[in-house]
């Protein structure tokens, strides 16, 4: 076999292997999905640099990411928000970045998930470092990293087998994740976390609806509930209300003084998780204290009749249809209050 024939055979085998691998994962119900990594976040963060007073920046943890749907917000206001919320993260580092590293004077909506917002100001703690790492990456990213991201997008959008995630979901199908799923037993003696499966689909501008399976498959939703229980019950650190509120309030004062529009938002939660939040992070002691200290506009979902029957399938996030409803109704409430007076409306 000459070199040309060998090359043809090699290319043919590669193409057949790729097609077969792609077909296999599609037969398992997988679809192409973007990785909500620091690159995707940094592209949205860059938009805040030139944002106008009519623009809206969304900050918070995963509840803002799931519960505020960008299409519905844009339909109601004519403005498509910049989505900078990050799963499992405190909004404090990102708000600090927006206040101190930009001249933005539009609307910032900060989601307050009590267990994360009031957790800590210690830089090395996970809620702070997860957010700060993305801020640092945005500041330090190279042109090669930017180019690599843009070149990867067409592949992520069209090929299932390249799907991976910065989160490290149990059902990721990159080689590292597949190897990690090999059961070698518990060699460390440390408690093992339940498997954590992806339960949403991220879009290029970080619009993030919950997957239909999560909303309709009770067994699957229960697997996510087990993860929330494991995370919360393994955390023995008490909330740090004073330091977190003080940290945030200093940035809030600076932002409001320069003409910014700050809105605090408490998204829905349900079941066991809601019960724990009410017991250990009660509204009067934490939320009301934060609102009073910052003097910001504030919206707590339980204050509105149209939100009282919303239930989170896995206790912490709204299904895609409910998130669309929540977003549309929330915007209407805010507009009626004049809270979005510096944004254009249809």
Please spell the DSSP secondary structure of 68-89, one letter per residue: --HHHHHHHHS---EE---TT-
SS (H, E, C) 258-270: CCCEEEEEECCCC
Q: Please, what is the Cα angle at 253 between 250 and 258, to 5 degrees?
A: 130
Written as six digits, the tokens of 313 are: 């399938």
Q: Which domain range does residue 269 map to?
A: 37-158+238-337
Domain annotation covers residue 54? yes
Domain annotation covers residue 115? yes
Domain annotation covers residue 141? yes
Residue 65's CATH number: 3.40.50.1110
- Per the CB < 8 A criterion, the answer to whether 70 and 209 are in contact is no
Domain annotation covers residue 7? no
Task: Please report where in the chains the tokens 């790492």 appear, as a residue.
Answer: 133
Domain annotation covers residue 229? no
pLDDT in tens, the chain (346 residues): 788 777 777 888 888 877 777 777 677 777 778 889 999 999 999 999 989 999 999 999 999 999 999 999 999 999 999 999 999 999 999 999 999 999 999 999 999 999 999 999 999 999 999 999 999 999 999 999 999 999 988 888 888 777 777 776 666 666 566 555 566 555 555 557 788 888 999 999 999 999 999 999 999 999 999 999 999 998 889 999 999 999 999 999 999 999 999 999 999 999 999 999 999 999 999 999 999 999 999 999 999 999 989 999 999 999 999 999 999 999 999 999 999 966 655 4
Domain annotation covers residue 25? no
- Per the CB < 8 A criterion, the answer to whether 268 and 301 are in contact is yes
Domain annotation covers residue 310? yes
Domain annotation covers residue 317? yes
- Per the CB < 8 A criterion, the answer to whether 81 and 107 are in contact is no
Beta strands across the sheet bearing 82-83: 82-83, 56-59, 107-111, 261-266, 297-300
Q: Tell me the pTM.
A: 0.90
Instruction: Say how many domains are in the chain.
Output: 1
First-to-last C-alpha distance (Å) of the chain: 69
């Amino acid at each position: 076999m000459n070199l040309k024939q060998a090359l043809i055979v090699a290319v043919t085998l590669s193409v057949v292997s790729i097609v077969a691998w792609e077909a296999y994962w599609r037969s398992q119900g997988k679809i192409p999905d973007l990785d909500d990594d620091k690159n995707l976040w940094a592209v949205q963060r860059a938009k805040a640099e030139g944002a106008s007073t009519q623009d809206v920046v969304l900050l918070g943890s995963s509840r803002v990411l799931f519960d505020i749907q960008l299409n519905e917000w844009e339909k109601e206001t004519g403005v498509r928000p910049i989505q900078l919320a990050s799963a499992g993260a405190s909004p404090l580092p990102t708000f600090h970045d927006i206040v101190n590293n930009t001249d933005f004077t539009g609307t910032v909506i900060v989601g307050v998930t009590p267990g994360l917002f009031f957790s800590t100001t210690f830089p090395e703690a996970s809620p702070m470092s997860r957010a700060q790492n993305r801020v640092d990456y945005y500041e330090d990213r190279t042109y090669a990293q930017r180019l690599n991201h843009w070149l990867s997008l067409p592949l992520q959008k069209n090929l299932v087998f390249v799907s991976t995630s910065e989160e490290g979901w149990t059902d990721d199908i990159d080689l590292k994740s597949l190897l990690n799923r090999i059961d070698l037993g518990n060699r460390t003696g440390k408690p093992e976390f339940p498997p954590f499966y992806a339960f949403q689909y991220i879009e290029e501008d970080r619009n993030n609806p919950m997957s239909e399976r999560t909303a309709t498959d009770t067994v699957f939703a229960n697997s996510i509930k087990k993860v929330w229980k494991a995370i919360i019950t393994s955390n023995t650190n008490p909330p740090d209300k004073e330091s977190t509120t003080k940290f945030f309030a200093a940035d809030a004062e600076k932002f409001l003084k320069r003409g910014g529009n700050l809105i605090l938002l408490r998204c829905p939660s349900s079941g066991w998780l809601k019960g724990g939040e009410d017991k250990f992070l009660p509204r009067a002691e934490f939320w009301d204290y934060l609102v009073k200290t910052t003097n910001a506009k504030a919206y707590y979902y339980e204050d509105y009749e149209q939100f009282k029957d919303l239930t989170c399938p896995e206790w912490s996030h709204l299904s895609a249809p409910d998130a669309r409803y929540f977003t549309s109704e929330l915007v209407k409430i805010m507009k009626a209050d004049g809270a979005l007076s510096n944004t254009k409306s249809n």
